[in-house]
Amino acid sequence: MPGKPIGEDELYSRVMEWAGGTLISENLRAYPIGEFDISEDEKHIVSWFYYAVPKLLPARQGMEFFLFYEENLFLKAKGGELVLEESQIFV
């Protein structure tokens, strides 16, 4: 079960603190790593979109990643179209 959702501003704050104030990209969603449909019924689909924000470490020590995901609730509209009803961020 996911923890408490956070807002966009809190996510950005947490990532900046983790990264030491320097990001490779200001777009926190620039590095998607996967999407998984968690549940589906006649009217809705719940999907989790995972993202990894990279941080380069000094002197060939490699990389670290800050991971977070969005839980999106989609309504199945007529004609097979999906309409986003709700989106929440979890770390």
Q: What's the pLDDT at 1?
A: 53
Q: pLDDT tens digits for 1-37?
A: 568 999 999 999 999 999 998 888 889 999 999 999 9
Q: Is 11 exposed, middle or buried (0-12, 13-18, 19+ CB in 10 A)?
A: buried
What's phi and psi for 18, nearest 5 deg? Answer: -60, -40
Q: pLDDT tens digits for 48-72?
A: 999 999 998 888 888 999 999 999 9
Cα–Cα nearest to 8, from 23, 38, 29, 22: 29
- At 79 the three-state DSSP class reads helix
The pTM (predicted TM-score) of the whole model is: 0.86
